[in-house]
Chains A and B, each alone.
Chain A
């Protein structure tokens, strides 16, 4: 009788053990991610300034936010940056992958070269490009020394052009990664179909347009989602490359949030800008993750 209950207890404990082991880390995620999100959303409806305060002010922070010129600049910059970044990365990635897939000699050397920037910190990338693009000592100066006296490249100091230097550095950093995604997609294509098409006399162009590129749809989707997500979150690179300047010409939502929350003591407005960033990312990630999880079942 006694042994019976102890066995019973043991099996019951065994049944609970997995949940008990999972519980602490799940609780951490619930508190530190979802609890914090709720807290920040709440703050965005309060009159918090230097410290959190709990006087509710309704939608005031949001209506203020959209009247701030710097937020306007940040949104426009993000739109320019994200669209160019995504399009250029996808193009470069796709072409590098297609070309690398042509039985290239030295592929084993080229592939790691295309990809290594992904291992670097954006602060390192930012430092390298910051001085390389600097008109005083960088590429402009080099061209002058090589005899091309009229060469001008001062985008990084130009209010209207500085955002494009961030595109250049960001493309340099991640296009190799997009290449790897497409290359994996290309290597997964069923070669039988291609052989059949070849036998039917399809040209290279037709093969890529009609058969291969359509089959890369999942890779396009993943690349798009990942690049979107990276673009919206980009903070380090902007800080290292331009510091958001000249003036606030290269401000993006991430730098805006930081400066309003921690240096300008407008925590309520900072929180509301963070909420908008989260909403934007959620609008892209939630459907994507949902479909990925469902497909698995």
Chain B
């Protein structure tokens, strides 16, 4: 988000400023608390959670819960840990994000630099597809995946995520390319450059920032998806979120809270890492996805 010089600060007294700082700090604690709880309880022996204080630091530190969540915890019926599902998610996210970004870039290029009758309608239809409740497509999607013989597979999930990601990736690139000077494109055209040449040579080199925004948005959304994963790949091809939910809600045996917390952090880690490394772009993507102005 742009951090312009801020001149709408109030002229406030000392008491008011103390209040503001306290207010902000209380909320910072509120936002940090759940993550803190996940973290400290993921390195505690189970006994310290069930018989002790959840907010306290561990008396005995252990990485046992992490090892268990990663490779031996019971997910559904198999004691495989979350490891295979983590890789499922990676295998699902990477191709889906790449395909979607390329399609979105081309679409955005066409919708801004090769305008034609009805292009706003085409864009409008793509845009609305970002906001449908996915419940409306679950039943036919299950049928189609069955017909294509890819239900319950990672390829099936890739297809699903590509189809429902196109709207957003097109939106990002369209809005970005709209500000790109069309004269440059026209000049290149007169010089005899073709459709793809113009794209590669002129638009692509300056598309870095929006590509980062788009990749981060798609990565976060697809990694965090639960509904499609649970509907179309609940078995061995399940993504991380589905596996985590199975781990936490499995009713057999003792509830290993520390393992649940370790698993939850594992599921959160990739997107959290992206947020920490490229938070600026993450925020920009969020805003562009909501404020289309």
Interface string of B105-138 (1 = CB under 8 A from A): 0110011001010001011111111011111111
Residues of chain B contacted by A137 (CB below 8 angstroms): 49-50, 54, 257
Residues of B bordering A, CB below 8 Å: 1-4, 6-12, 17, 20-21, 23-24, 27-28, 30-35, 37-38, 41, 49-50, 52-55, 103, 106-107, 110-111, 114, 116, 120, 122-129, 131-141, 143-144, 162-164, 166-167, 170, 178, 194-195, 220, 223-224, 226-227, 230-231, 241, 244-245, 248-249, 257, 260-261, 263-265, 267-268, 271-272, 274-276, 279, 282-283, 286-287, 290-293
- Taken together as a complex, chains A and B put the C-alpha atoms of A239 and B231 apart, in Å, by 13
* Closest B residue by C-beta to A277: B133
Give A205-232 interface residues, CB cut-off 8 Å to B.
Answer: 207, 212, 218-219, 222-223, 225-226, 229, 232
Partner pick for B53 among A120, A142, A183, A275, CB 8 A cutoff: A142
B279 touches A112 (CB 8 A): yes
A295 touches B293 (CB 8 A): yes
Shortest C-beta distance, B198 to chain A (Å), equals 10
Residues of chain A contacted by B282 (CB below 8 angstroms): 118-119
Partner pick for B106 among A22, A32, A146, A275, CB 8 A cutoff: A22
Residues of chain A contacted by B291 (CB below 8 angstroms): 181, 184, 218-219, 222
| A/B interface sample: 19 pairs, CB < 8 A | A18-B110, A26-B126, A29-B125, A32-B163, A32-B164, A33-B163, A36-B136, A40-B139, A100-B24, A101-B9, A122-B226, A123-B224, A124-B264, A124-B267, A127-B248, A223-B290, A236-B227, A274-B136, A277-B135
Residues of chain A contacted by B30 (CB below 8 angstroms): 172
A194 touches B136 (CB 8 A): no
Shortest C-beta distance, A119 to chain B (Å), equals 4
A293 touches B245 (CB 8 A): no
- Taken together as a complex, chains A and B put the C-alpha atoms of A33 and B274 apart, in Å, by 29
A102 touches B10 (CB 8 A): yes
A103 touches B139 (CB 8 A): no
Q: Is chain B's interface secondary structure helix, strand, loop, or mixed overall?
A: helix
Instruction: List the one stretch of A62-70, A91-99, A156-164 in contact with chain B.
Output: A91-99
B195 touches A14 (CB 8 A): yes
- Taken together as a complex, chains A and B put the C-alpha atoms of A152 and B7 apart, in Å, by 45
* Closest B residue by C-beta to A229: B131
Residues of chain B contacted by A293 (CB below 8 angstroms): 120, 123-124, 127
Residues of chain B contacted by A253 (CB below 8 angstroms): 135
Interface centre among B139, B220, B249, by most chain A C-beta atoms within 10 angstroms, is B139
Residues of chain B contacted by A295 (CB below 8 angstroms): 293
Instruction: List the one stretch of A53-61, A82-90, A284-292 in contact with chain B.
Output: A284-292
- Taken together as a complex, chains A and B put the C-alpha atoms of A204 and B20 apart, in Å, by 14
Known interface pairs A33-B125, A132-B54; 14 further A-B residue pairs with C-beta atoms within 8 A, sorted by A's residue number = A19-B110, A37-B137, A96-B27, A102-B10, A121-B271, A124-B264, A124-B268, A129-B34, A131-B257, A136-B50, A183-B1, A258-B227, A261-B138, A262-B138
- Taken together as a complex, chains A and B put the C-alpha atoms of A123 and B247 apart, in Å, by 11
Interface string of A7-27 (1 = CB under 8 A from B): 000000010011101100110
Shortest C-beta distance, B261 to chain A (Å), equals 7
* A-B interface, 6 closest residue pairs, ranked by CB to CB distance from nearest: A18-B114, A121-B224, A119-B275, A191-B7, A236-B226, A128-B34
Q: Is chain A's interface secondary structure helix, strand, loop, or mixed overall?
A: helix
- Chain A interface residue number, banded: 35 or more
Residues of chain B contacted by A128 (CB below 8 angstroms): 34-35, 37-38, 261, 264
Shortest C-beta distance, A253 to chain B (Å), equals 8
Interface centre among A188, A207, A296, by most chain B C-beta atoms within 10 angstroms, is A296
Query: Given A96-B27, A229-B131, are A235 and B227 neighbors across the interface (CB < 8 Å)?
Result: yes
Query: Given A181-B287, A293-B124, are A278 and B244 neighbors across the interface (CB < 8 Å)?
Result: no
- Taken together as a complex, chains A and B put the C-alpha atoms of A39 and B139 apart, in Å, by 9
* Closest A residue by C-beta to B141: A36
Query: Given A36-B137, A114-B31, A257-B135, are A119 and B271 neighbors across the interface (CB < 8 Å)?
Result: yes
